[in-house]
Copies of this chain bind each other. A is one copy, B any other.
Amino acid sequence: MIAGIIGATGYAGSELVRLLSGHPDVDALILSSVTFEGGRIEEVYPNFLGSISAPLAGPEAALEADVVFAALPHGVGEKWAAAALEKGVPFIDLSADFRFDGDEDTYAAWYGRRYAFPALREFSVYGLPELNRKRIREYAGKKKVIIGNPGCYPTGASLAAFPALSPRPDGKRQAAAGTVIVDSASGVTGGGREPSRSFHFPECSDALAPYKVGSHRHTPEIARNFAAMSQGSGVPSGGERSVIFTPHLAPMNRGILSTVYIPLDESWQVKAPGSSCRPPSPEVEKQAGRIRETYAEFYRDEPFVRVLPAGVPAATGRVRGSNFCDISVHLDAAGSTLIAVSAIDNMVKGAAGQAVQNMNVIFGFDEKAGLEAVPALF
C-alpha cells in the first residue's frame, strides 16, 4: 500500500513519515510540502538520512496514494479531503476541520471560519478508536471516509475520564457527577515547528506557565467527547458536558500529562468521608482500588491504554515515543473526587500515532501494526 502525506515537513507530518516508514503494510510514501516542495525530506530532516529518502512534491501527488494523511494548519485542507473523497481514497486529517461533524457552529465559534465544503461531514467521523471504533469501521466500509483525528489534549483528557463517564453495564450509576476539571501540561513540540517567542528556548526552558486559561479551543472537543461517552452513543453529537480545561506549557519536548478531577456520584463515594487534614483512610484506598479495577475492565481490550497498578502514577516519561496512553487512578483524601491522570506522547497517541491507528482500523490491519515501539524511559 502507498501512503500519501500532505504537510510532511511539520512536526506531526515528520512523525507520520517516521512511523509509516516502519509500517509493515505500507510499501511506499508520497510526501508533500508546500514550504519545501522540490526538496527532499532528508534535507529538511537530516535525522532521516540513510533511513528515509523521498522527494517533496505538491499535494496533488499525495492524492495518488491509497490513503492520504493531512497534517496541515486548520482551515486549509478541506479541498484535499474533497479531492480524496472523489477518488475514493480514505483521508485522515490531523487538523480540527473534521472533528466537529455537523456542529459547524461550535467549530466556527472557536476556529473563526465556517466549513468550505460542509457536505463532506456526511463522510467524516471523529477518529478516537477508544470512543467509536465501531463507527469508524462502518464509515470505512462505505469506502468514502474522512477521519477527524483528535486533538492532543482531548485524547489524553478523554481517555482519563471515559470509564467514569460511561453508563454502567451493571446498571449502577455513572461515576462522574458535575463539572470535570482537566488540568494538562504539554511538551513544546505541541506548538509545532514554527519558531515563536513562546517556544524560544530561553523563554520556555526551566519554566512552567499556563496559557489560554479558560479559552483554549480544545475545550469544546473535550466537552463533546465527554458528552458522547456519557450518552453511551459512542458518537460526539450536539450534546456537551461541563468541562474546565487549563493547558500549561512544560519545559520538555514530548508528552502531555492530564490530571483530571472528576466529582463522584454519591454511589461511588466513600461512605465515611475523610478530612483534608488526615491522610487517606484504608477505606479510601480500597475504593480507589475498586475504581481502578473498573478502569482496567473498561479498557481490557484496548491495545494502547494501560491502566497502571496502584503506586505507579502516570508519567510522560514512560510513554515516550509510543502510542500508549497510561492512566493512573487516585482518590482525594475525602473519597469524593476521582483523580485520573493520563500520560500520552503528544506526537504519537496525540497526533501521528493515532492517525496511523485510524488507518489500521479503516483497512482492517492489526491495530498495533507500525505502532509497536516500546517506550524508552529516557
Interface residues of A (CB under 8 A from B): 11, 14-15, 18, 21-22, 45-52, 106, 109-110, 179, 181, 183, 185, 187-189, 193, 195-197, 199-211, 213-215, 217, 219-220, 222-224, 240-246, 248, 250-255, 257, 259, 261, 275-280, 284, 288, 306, 308, 312-322, 324, 328, 330-334, 336-337, 339, 341, 343, 347, 372-378
> Are B378 and A312 touching (Cβ within 8 A)?
no
> Are B106 and A331 touching (Cβ within 8 A)?
no
Cα A212 to Cα B209 with chains together (Å): 22
Complex contacts, A328 vs chain B, CB 8 Å: 210, 213
> Are A341 and B244 touching (Cβ within 8 A)?
no
By CB atoms of chain B within 10 A, which of A183, A199, A261 has the most?
A: A183
> Are B374 and A18 touching (Cβ within 8 A)?
yes
Cα A109 to Cα B333 with chains together (Å): 13
CB closest chain-B residue, reference A303 = B50
> Are A214 and B339 touching (Cβ within 8 A)?
yes
Partner of A46, one of B205, B318, B336: B318
Complex contacts, A252 vs chain B, CB 8 Å: 205-208, 251
> Are A250 and B343 touching (Cβ within 8 A)?
no
Cα A165 to Cα B220 with chains together (Å): 30
Complex contacts, A224 vs chain B, CB 8 Å: 277
> Are B254 and A378 touching (Cβ within 8 A)?
yes
Complex contacts, A18 vs chain B, CB 8 Å: 374, 376
Given A185-B185, A276-B242, A376-B18, are A317 and B47 also a contact pair (CB < 8 Å)? yes
Closest CB in chain B relative to A65 CB, distance in Å: 20
Closest CB in chain B relative to A84 CB, distance in Å: 26
Given A195-B199, A276-B223, A341-B213, are A261 and B378 also a contact pair (CB < 8 Å)? no
> Are A313 and B343 touching (Cβ within 8 A)?
no
> Are B308 and A49 touching (Cβ within 8 A)?
yes
Cα A185 to Cα B373 with chains together (Å): 28
> Are B51 and A374 touching (Cβ within 8 A)?
yes
Complex contacts, A280 vs chain B, CB 8 Å: 214-215
> Are B332 and A202 touching (Cβ within 8 A)?
no
Given A197-B195, A339-B244, are A277 and B220 also a contact pair (CB < 8 Å)? yes
Complex contacts, A201 vs chain B, CB 8 Å: 188, 199-201, 204-205, 251, 253
Complex contacts, A48 vs chain B, CB 8 Å: 374-375
Closest CB in chain B relative to A213 CB, distance in Å: 4
Cα A372 to Cα B21 with chains together (Å): 11
> Are B317 and A376 touching (Cβ within 8 A)?
no
- Other A-B pairs, 18, CB within 8 Å; known A187-B202, A195-B196, A240-B276: A21-B374, A48-B375, A49-B308, A51-B372, A193-B200, A206-B206, A206-B252, A206-B320, A209-B313, A210-B257, A213-B313, A214-B339, A220-B278, A222-B276, A242-B276, A246-B339, A248-B257, A321-B321
Partner of A208, one of B241, B243, B250, B373: B250
Complex contacts, A248 vs chain B, CB 8 Å: 185, 257, 259
Complex contacts, A46 vs chain B, CB 8 Å: 308, 312, 318
